[in-house]
């Protein structure tokens, strides 16, 4: 399937007819043009029907309040069968609760939710901090290097390994499986063949099967760590036989890996990029590290690591003076809602001591609201606390390379130089 847009991308979206613009074009995010494209939609046609796109026709919802409305009304807007503009491949029928409606969604979410319960996060915090410190201490000072690979990807894979109590030396496998599971062009911008995905996901299932058996015997002799996902699944009588339903087991594991992978990675890069683009904010932070807890949600808003979620209307719905028909695809552009000036002042600016910094759409709303939000925030908080303890500055050199995707809004590389 060719997902390249056939529509010409224009550098000034105001110069052409609004109906000729393709809002699903991943190149908008690779070039930064997304901002002016969506600004025009918010101002001129906030509930916009695009009749033609490589993914078929769809509605773009671009204002903060309208996005909240769609996200909160799961009975009007279904998450099945997929939550990205393009439908996922059907070759591997993974069962992920992010793409399910109640009651199945609720049952499956309840089963894995305890892994990110406050008590569990508190138990993980010191281990995550120790691992963050180790990575930062190993970074070269005064030398240019790629922040994405050395820090963002590495930290994220370590966090995921902690979540699963996964063999530490094999942690990059988790990132690899995540890329494979979500590696379709419309998602990460990657181009993965079905065969490659199949082999990778089989390997993932096999590995987690082994981990399950091992944890089961450790639990029997009272040796398992209690906070990892597998031990939690094994400890509940609702989920202790999940291994007998391989697609559900694999789906739940992969949802946690994929959900926490690109998002955390790109928030780690986006925060540093934002502080370099807004140097007065960096100075403010250095003078007052107590601003970190407020800066973290601001990073997540400003970056918006997932640009959209999509739904299918279950019935005709009136919104913004338009009628969305039953069966229509509806795309909530979080990336646009987070820049809506009618709700967020100076929305394009990165302001670390912003009031109401938590008022953003990046984690969604309603019953699919991100399950890992507290974990992601904790991770970012720890990283920034540890950075400020060690370094006087981290300078971004040149411009980062951005990912070509309409879903994952992120960075493939960013060169930096650290000063002690
Ligand atoms: C769902 C964003 C980190 C696991 C979601 C949704 C968004 C999102 C937009 C869908 C919300 C909706 O449809 O209303 C983010 C961002 C993150 C992040 C921006 C980091 C800054 C994480 C982490 C994990 C995770 C670290 C794993 C531990 C999940 C899961 C769901 C989800 C399991 C599905 C929830 C459901 O369908 O009920 N996330 N996420 N996320 N996220 Fe995250």
In the chain, domain spans: 13-419
State the pLDDT at residue 295: 98
Give, using CA atoms, the residue closest to atom 14 of ligand 1.
Answer: 364
CATH superfamily of 13-419: Cytochrome P450 (1.10.630.10)
Encoded tokens for 283? 């100075």
Q: How far is the CA of 284 from the centre of ligand 1 (A)?
A: 30
User: Per-residue pLDDT averaged across 122-151, rounded?
Assistant: 95
Question: Rounded to whole angstroms, how far apart are CA atoms 394 and 272?
Answer: 8
State the pLDDT at residue 91: 61
Which atom of ligand 1 sits closest to the CA of residue 375? Answer: 26
For 212-221, 351-360, 370-379, 395-404, which range has the lowest pLDDT when averaged over its residues?
212-221
| 293 pLDDT above the threshold of 90 | yes
Give, using CA atoms, the residue closest to atom 28 of ligand 1.
Answer: 372
State the pLDDT at residue 242: 86
Which atom of ligand 1 sits closest to the CA of residue 99? Answer: 37
| 269 pLDDT above the threshold of 90 | yes
Question: Rounded to whole angstroms, how far apart are CA atoms 417 and 375?
Answer: 28
Model confidence at 129, in pLDDT bands (50, 70, 90)? very high
| 243 pLDDT above the threshold of 60 | yes
Which helix H or strand E contains 145, and what residues bound it? strand 145-146
State the pLDDT at residue 209: 93
Model confidence at 29, in pLDDT bands (50, 70, 90)? very high
Residue of 175, 296, 370 to test ligand 1 pocket, by largest number of atoms within 8 Å of CB: 370
State the pLDDT at residue 191: 67
270 burial (CB, 10 Å; 0-12 / 13-18 / 19+) is: buried
Q: How far is the CA of 417 from the centre of ligand 1 (A)?
A: 31
| 4 pLDDT above the threshold of 60 | no
Average pLDDT taken over every residue of the chain: 91
User: Per-residue pLDDT averaged across 257-271, rounded?
Assistant: 93
3-state helix/strand/coil string of 276-324: HHCHHHHHHHHHCHHHHHHHHHHHHHHHCCECEEEEEECCCEEECCEEE
State the pLDDT at residue 1: 39
Which residues have any ligand 1 atom within 6 Å of their CB? 71, 97-98, 109, 116, 255-256, 259-260, 263-264, 267, 300, 305-306, 309, 362-366, 368-372, 375-376
The residue that leads in pLDDT, 253 or 276, is 276
Residue of 263, 299, 408, 409 to test ligand 1 pocket, by largest number of atoms within 8 Å of CB: 263
Q: Is the dihedral of CA 187, 190, 195, 198 positive or negative?
A: negative
| 89 pLDDT above the threshold of 80 | no
State the pLDDT at residue 190: 59
Give, using CA atoms, the residue closest to atom 6 of ligand 1.
Answer: 370
State the pLDDT at residue 5: 56
| 186 pLDDT above the threshold of 70 | no
| 182 pLDDT above the threshold of 80 | no
Encoded tokens for 247? 């697609």
Q: Are 162 and 155 in contact (CB under 8 A)?
A: no
| 226 pLDDT above the threshold of 60 | yes
Give, using CA atoms, the residue closest to atom 42 of ligand 1.
Answer: 370
For 38-47, 191-200, 253-262, which range has the lowest pLDDT when averaged over its residues?
191-200
Percentage of the chain lying above the pLDDT 90 cut: 72
| 108 pLDDT above the threshold of 90 | no
**Chain position carrying tokens 């201490």:** 137
| 258 pLDDT above the threshold of 90 | no
């Amino acid at each position: 399937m060719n997902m390249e847009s056939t529509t010409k991308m224009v550098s000034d979206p105001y110069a052409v007819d609004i109906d000729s613009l393709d809002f699903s074009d991943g190149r908008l995010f690779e070039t930064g043009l997304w901002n002016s494209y969506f600004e025009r939609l918010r101002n001129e046609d906030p509930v916009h029907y695009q009749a033609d796109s490589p993914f078929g026709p769809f509605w773009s919802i671009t204002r903060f309040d309208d996005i909240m409305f769609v996200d909160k009304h799961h009975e009007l807007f279904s998450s099945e069968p997929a939550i990205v503009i393009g439908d996922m491949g059907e070759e591997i029928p993974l069962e992920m609760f992010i793409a399910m409606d109640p009651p199945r969604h609720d049952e499956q979410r309840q089963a894995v939710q305890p892994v990110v319960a406050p008590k569990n996060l508190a138990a993980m915090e010191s281990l995550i901090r120790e691992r963050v410190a180790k990575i930062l201490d190993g970074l070269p000072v005064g030398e240019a290097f790629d922040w994405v690979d050395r820090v963002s990807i590495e930290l994220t894979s370590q966090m995921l390994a902690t979540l699963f109590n996964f063999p530490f030396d094999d942690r990059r496998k988790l990132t690899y499986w995540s890329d494979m599971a979500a590696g379709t062009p419309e998602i990460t911008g990657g181009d993965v063949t079905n065969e490659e995905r199949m082999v990778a996901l089989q390997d993932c299932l096999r590995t987690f099967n082994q981990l399950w058996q091992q944890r089961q015997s450790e639990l029997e002799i009272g040796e398992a760590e209690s906070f990892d996902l597998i031990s939690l699944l094994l400890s509940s009588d609702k989920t202790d036989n999940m291994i007998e339903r391989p697609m559900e087991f694999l789906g739940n594991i992969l949802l946690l890996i994929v959900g926490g992978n690109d998002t955390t990675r790109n928030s780690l890069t986006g925060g540093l990029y934002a502080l370099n683009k807004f140097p007065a904010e960096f100075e403010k932070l250095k003078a007052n590290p107590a601003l970190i807890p407020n800066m973290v949600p601001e990073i997540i808003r400003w970056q918006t690591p997932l640009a959209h979620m999509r739904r299918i209307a279950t019935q005709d719905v009136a919104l913004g003076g338009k009628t969305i028909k039953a069966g229509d695809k509806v795309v909530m552009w979080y990336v646009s809602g987070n820049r809506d000036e009618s709700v967020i002042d100076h929305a394009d600016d990165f302001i670390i001591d912003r009031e109401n910094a938590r008022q953003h759409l990046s984690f969604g709303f309603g019953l699919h609201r991100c399950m890992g939000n507290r974990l992601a925030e904790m991770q970012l908080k720890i990283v920034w606390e540890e950075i400020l303890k060690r370094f006087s500055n981290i300078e971004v050199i040149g411009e980062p390379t951005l990912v070509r995707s309409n879903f994952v809004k992120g960075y493939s590389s960013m060169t930096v130089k650290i000063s002690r």
